[in-house]
Every structure is written in C-alpha cells, then in structure tokens.
Amino acid sequence: MEIYPWVVLVHVVSAFTYPLTAIRRAIGQPNRDDKKKGIVPEPLTDAEIATLRAGLRPELAAAVGFAGLVILVWLMEAKPF
C-alpha cells in the first residue's frame, strides 16, 4: 500500500483546520477537550473575533493545499518509488 497520498491528505487537512481552531473557540464552540471536561467557552466580542480573523492567512493554507496537490499528482504520474 502506498502511503504518500495519505501523508499529503493529512497535511492538507491540518493546514486548513488548525488555524480555524481559535476562531471556533472564539465564537463559543467547544473543542474535544472542552467537551470532555464539560467546559463551555465564552464567546468573544465582535471586535476580538475580527482581530483573530485578521490574523488568518488563507493564502498560506491555499499554497500548502496546492503544493500538496502538485506533489500528489507528481508522485502518481512519475512513480519515483
């Protein structure tokens, strides 16, 4: 079984989901650890959420995703292994 498609998939998914964790918590959505501990996070104000959103870099996530796709296609076509 070839593992490289799964490695690329994990990297692409993590690149798109990890930066949004702070935003989810800011709007009051609990994560797994919060649910286990029974914690409900307090939603932040609109200004604080806007500050968090301004810090996001969607270009970086798009670049990582595109690079992963290019690597995946190259590996599938060139079959270097």
Domain-located, residue 12: yes
Q: Is the pLDDT of residue 62 over 70?
A: yes
pLDDT in tens, 7-59: 888 887 887 777 788 888 899 998 888 889 988 889 999 999 999 888 888 88
Query: How many Å is the maximal CA-CA distance in the chain?
Result: 52
Domain-located, residue 48: yes
The whole domain housing 37 covers 4-76
Give the per-residue pLDDT at 24. 87
Residues listed for the chain: 81
| Whole-structure pTM value | 0.55
Output the DSSP codes for 65-77: HHHHHHHHHHHHH
- Are the CB atoms for 56 and 39 separated by under 8 Å? no
Domain-located, residue 81: no
Give me the number of domains the chain comprises: 1
